[in-house]
Amino acid sequence: MSETNRIDDILERAIDGERLTPDEGLLLLEKADLLSLGAAAHEVRMRLHPERVVTYIVDRNVNYSNICDSYCKFCSFYAAPGSKNGYILSRAALKQKIEETKALGGNQILMQGGTHPDWDIDWYCDLIAFCKSFDIHVHALSSPEIQKIAVVSKLSVRDTIARLRDAGLDSIPGGGAEILTDYARGEISPLKCTTDEWLDVHRQAHALGMRTTATMMLGHRERLVDRIEHLDRLRILQDEAHANAGTEEAGFTAFICWLFQPTHVLSGDEARGGTEYLRTLAVSRLYLQNVRNSQASWVTMGPKVGQMALWFGCNDMGSTMIEENVVSSAGVAYRMLSPEIHSVIAAAGFRAQERNFFYEPLEAQFLDSPERLREIVGHDPKNLALPAEAFDKVPASVAARR
């Protein structure tokens, strides 16, 4: 069979819902024409979501701290423990951010920080309980953070998650996955949790009945084969979650991939373009058909490529990002308000639908108009929403323990 015929065959089988092998996924990444991939991914998307609806969520990325001892080579955001650039958000600042989020119509906070060498389960349970006290969905703490909490607290991963859940943790984001192969992780984040450890956090969370999301950061030191292995590991874990729960309403709710932005770090590397993003996005839709939702990463790619992503397999535009610090620290800071995200989705040929974490429809309130945003969080071109003075420095007690 010629390569072209083989690609035809693979795409048609994927459209029909058959599973791709890793070799087939790799062939598509390497050789398939971009538009063919997009067309096939869109067919799969329309089979999974026959309605021409694209969902989005109004939420805020809150980074409770930037202190981290993982020292990932790609990260522009972290501050080493003891660094004068480190911060921890005060309870007052957190309260303000959550109340602002709710006032702007948000229904969730996505809260992540770093891996801290000292903070234990009690510290994190207090943090989560405080956030949950505002009656908002708390989507928080990535696998590396949870692994670190478990180590510091001398707890199993499952017990750690159970404690956090009892404190109010609703779901776990897919942050820190980068590329789930030990080769790629060794290249960019050798001190962070391993592939197996990342997956184990999600496995344990799924076993406890929690939903999580899966991510991929591509375009750094990884090889194409790493991207496929990453997708394969996610697919296997999702199968496991479905089998254990006896339902497909379990495991990962969504897959989100984005491009590494090498502005400040890994400066010898060059950012990949929109083509590479859309190609990988489409292959992920074809490969990961047991993960129901695929999210467009307009925050790194911009609204225009975000719109095109809706024709490359995505059924969700992700978050309005009332606040985003991590990607913007790498010099990429697109942002949209919910009237804009509605407009973007409509202009791409779909109907916009606000949702919650579980992809349940919500009635859009449009409380985050530009005027209202300025009124509530002020004008902040860096998208930090709060002035630097609002950040607490590392408490002396923590510094002393180090």
Partner 1 sequence: MTRARILRSIVTSAGLDGLWDRASRGARLPRADLQKVIDCGHPLAAAALADAARENASGVDVTHPWTVRVRAPGVPVTAEDATRVSHAVEALAGIPSTEAQIVGVLPSDLPLGLAIEMVRSVKVARPDLTLRALDSARIDALAARDGTTIEHVLTELRNAGLDTLDWTPGEGRDARAAAVHRAAHESGFETVAPIGYTKGEVGPALLDRLDAMRAVAEDTGRFTAAIAVPDQSEDASPLRGTSGTEDTLACAVIRLALGHAVKHITTDAHVVGHKLAAVLLTCGASDFVGAQAAARWAPPSGDAARPLNPDRVRRFVIEARRSPVTRDALFRRVEASTGTPGTLDS
Q: Footprint of partner 1 on this chain (CB under 8 A)?
A: 4, 7-8, 11-12, 15, 31-36, 38-40, 42-43, 262-264, 267-268, 270-279, 301-308, 311, 328, 331-333, 336, 339-341, 343-344, 347-349, 382
Distance set, CA 366 to CA 85, 99, 136, 354, 372 (Å): 36, 16, 18, 10, 10
Query: In the bound complex, what is the minimum distance in angstroms from residue 275's beta carbon to partner 1?
Result: 5
Closest by CA position to 337, among listed 366, 303, 302: 366
Query: In the bound complex, what is the minimum distance in angstroms from residue 341's beta carbon to partner 1?
Result: 8
CA pair distance 71, 147, nearest whole angstrom: 16
Give the distance from CA 325 to its chain's centroid: 13
Q: Which residue, 197 or 276, has its beta carbon nearer to partner 1?
A: 276
What six digits make up the tokens of 236?
Answer: 């296997």
Query: In the bound complex, what is the minimum distance in angstroms from residue 330's beta carbon to partner 1?
Result: 9
Task: Assess contact for 356 and 107: CB atoms under 8 A.
Answer: yes
Q: Which residue, 33 or 196, has its beta carbon nearer to partner 1?
A: 33
Task: Assess contact for 352 and 346: CB atoms under 8 A.
Answer: yes
Query: In the bound complex, what is the minimum distance in angstroms from residue 84's beta carbon to partner 1?
Result: 19
Residues with Cβ within 8 Å of residue 22, at least 6 apart in sequence: 225, 228, 229, 232
Query: In the bound complex, what is the minimum distance in angstroms from residue 288's beta carbon to partner 1?
Result: 19
Query: In the bound complex, what is the minimum distance in angstroms from residue 379's beta carbon to partner 1?
Result: 15
Q: Which residue, 32 or 180, has its beta carbon nearer to partner 1?
A: 32
Q: Which residue, 16 or 249, has its beta carbon nearer to partner 1?
A: 16
CA pair distance 368, 341, nearest whole angstrom: 11
Q: Which residue, 166 or 380, has its beta carbon nearer to partner 1?
A: 380
Q: How many CA atoms does the CB half-sphere of 33 hold within 13 Å?
A: 8
Q: Which residue, 115 or 328, has its beta carbon nearer to partner 1?
A: 328
